[in-house]
Amino acid sequence: MNQTGRLSRTTRPRRYELLITPDLDASTFSGEVVVALEMSEPTDTIVLHAKGLDVALVELSQGGAPVAADLRIDAEREYIVITAQQPLLAGDAILELQFDGPISNGLFGFYRSTYLDEAGAERVLAATQFEAAHARCAFPCFDEPEFKAMFAITLVVADGLLALSNGPEIDREKLPDGNVRVRFGTTIPISTYLVAWVVGPLEVTEPVDACGVAVRVAHVPGRGHLTQFALDVGAFAIEFFEDYYGIAYPGEKCDLVALPDFSFGAMENLGCVTFRETRLLLDPDAATLDETTGAALTIVHEIAHMWFGDLVTMKWWNGIWLNEAFATFMQHLGIDAYKPEWKTWDEFALARAAALDVDALENTRTVEYEVVTPQDADGMFDLLTYQKGGSVLRMLERWLGADAFRAGVRHYLSRYQLSNTETTDLWDALEEATGRPVRRIMDTWIFQPGFPTVRVGEGRLEQRRFCYSGAGHDERWVLPVLARIHTGESVETRSLLTDAEVVPLEVPDGSLVVLNAGGEGFYRVAYPTAWRDRLLDAGVLQPLERFALVDDLWASVLAGDATAAEFLECARRFAGETDPVVWRAVVGHLRTASRLVEGEALERMRIEIAAIVKPATKRLGWDGHSDDARTRQLRGLLVNVLGSTTFDPETIARAREIHEHAEGADADVQAAAISVVASNGTADDFERFVARATETTNPQEQMRYLYSLAEFPSEELVLRAADLALSDEIRAQNGPFVIQRALRNREHGAVVWAFVRDSWPRVLARFSPSLIPRVVEGTTWLVEDGLPDDVLKFVAAHPVPSGARTIAQHMERLRVHRAAVERERDRFSAALLQAP
């Protein structure tokens, strides 16, 4: 063992024979594991992981002969230590252990989940969630990603229960005690965090063939009608990635498992992918475009991992960002091929903007950083890993060219399949395939924090780190820049800005230049006002470029480099906009700008927003049956704004009518109507929404009603929503998001904060540590006088170690927002009240 606490590399597992016998009624399990080991040098000590298990040594043997040995448990370090009475020789050995432990009530390890059947009776199942370091809670193992091994898993379960694992079922035997022994095929070498099994009263669909791979969906009984979408997307993804990667699917089957209780969106266990129900079970005719694409992207993301993450795996948790960033990039590439009309790369702009917002903080981080323990990796599961990482890969792909990028990825996967890698191995493979300086570029994006803003002026480009605090920084990036020059015709140019502070910019007289052409670079552009106005007047900007222009300008407001009045003036120019993703930037930031003012100025701001939104709403009308999906999406967005932000009486009345007679409206309008009714709702509405969230079997509809409970205008009702989130009436996986939304309630966020503060022990007891930062995120706009100090002091006094970095980012965002209020409230109010 070394000083970091990582296991010795001199002893490695090659194969696990694993038997698990769960008792769902007692919430316990027992097991046996036989580990085939390989020692690179003589040793008398074998150390592996176990946590919360009672473990007994059955036998240690070498060369077919038993070796006398003792077992010691080191609970503090989560180790079991096997000490042989005589040294083992270099070569092979066999370790056999027995163990038992509890089925967890949390959402990690081997954990318990429940649902109510049609008769209202509770049914119990159990499933695994092992990332990052929770396999050790279910069986003794070498619980680090570098220790890849084959797994042959057997489950002994009560007759009538579904049993699933990574491999296909290859044998089933009825036992004398009435249980059933189910044996699964041996996997390829995988890391322990990718091992999975599920046991319980679930159903599974008939398989769909995808290049010879059987794809199935497992689900709670009664929801089989919601599985066809996932089967279609899953089969498409396997076929797409086999072609893209040039390597066959690395498993023998692909089960997609919808779990009633699940902490994350999904988990890429090889051949046995687990999901939240909302991310897998879906009726496309009853789902909004956001809900549909959200599920499709998640499915494709996890299947992309079968190659990038499962077949080729990082050596240590510092590389988890690349697994997730690459799958984030690939999910959009796959869905763009599946449904190009959804324009998923345009929608990715929203995620990129969120990552830019975090990366503009002093409390941002490098994308890759040193990870000493697996727990240190918990902070990597955030916007910077997924969205910044994915955005930087997209920027690189666009600059290299899609074919060149794909060639490099194929080279990487072919070279390292079944093994483990470091981040730089991918950059080197891309360099070898393209001849471009990929490592030089990517090192500046991965190993230093933040991103640049590119400023234009006097024949030069200047890059400086963009930071809301305005603090001086000297970082520079090797920046792949796409630009477009309009001189009567459009010409796109590719260049690589070095890490110099200033570079020349040659612009022909009378021409228009679009920087960040395509709008997909991970940086901001600070156009001079006259330059920005000329671009808008000329109508040469593509949708993502218009999105970026709006988003960059609002970021400048938060940084103090532009005023809210300037942003509003720019936003007025978008009343004739037709693209949904541009509208999402305009509307999102107008809503945020309204948080800067109060009283009469706020009422005036609502009038301004309505004036911008109403012309588009009038053009669209209310009937969307003949429209494409993105137009329906836009209609729902604008209806929501008019009814929930500007409180337009006509919109509220129509939304209530649609909600009460929903059969005639499309899903995007129905979802908007729920939000509008909630924002203007009564106590009777609240009771109906609670009942509807409980009764519906449609996962997406359930979330619409559940999350809207936080939007009600009554303090009593919003507090009740927060209290419900801490009870068994709302699943622990969903409660943090209800509280987050309640904290964001403009009128009642302050009283919800007091409730959360005073109920903090309940919050910690109810929610997984990984979800606590989601609660705290709701405080970032609690900007009323005195309130930020209370939040900051409380959070500082009640640290959450697993989410410390993310929570620090939330607290900095609160300070940024408060500073914007102090800077803007008086002058923005004056500008609004002076407006005609």
Structure tokens at 738: 């209800």
Question: How far is the C-alpha of 392 from the C-alpha of 389, rounded, in Å?
Answer: 5
Question: How far is the C-alpha of 14 from the C-alpha of 139, rounded, in Å?
Answer: 16
Strands (E), 677-727: none
Radius of gyration of the chain (CA): 28
> Which residue is catalytic, options 242, 268, 302, 812?
302
- Residue pointed to by tokens 């077919």: 64
Residue closest to 798 by CA, chosen among 765, 770, 757, 762: 757
Count the helices and strands in the chain (H runs, E runs).
26, 30
DSSP assignment string, 230-273: HHHHHHHHHHHHHHHHSS--SSSEEEEEEESS-SSSEE--TTEE
Residue closest to 726 by CA, chosen among 760, 750, 692: 760
DSSP assignment string, 191-238: -GGG--EEEES-EEPPPEEETTEEEEEEE-TT-GGG-HHHHHHHHHHH
Which residues make beta-bridge pairs with 44?
none
Is residue 302 annotated as a catalytic residue, yes or no? yes
Backbone φ, ψ for residue 259 (5° rounding): -110, 135
The secondary element (H helix, E strand) that includes residue 353 is helix 344-359
Ramachandran sector of residue 246 (left: φ over 0; alpha: ψ -120 to 50; beta: rest) = left
First-residue to last-residue Cα distance in the chain: 73
Asked if residue 125 lies in contact with residue 113, where contact means CB atoms within 8 angstroms, the answer is yes
Asked if residue 181 lies in contact with residue 154, where contact means CB atoms within 8 angstroms, the answer is yes
Sorted by sequence, the CB contacts under 8 Å of residue 825 that are 6+ apart come out as: 596, 597, 598
Instruction: Specify the DSSP class assigned to residue 187.
Output: P
Three-state SS for 332? helix
Residues annotated catalytic, as ranges: 302
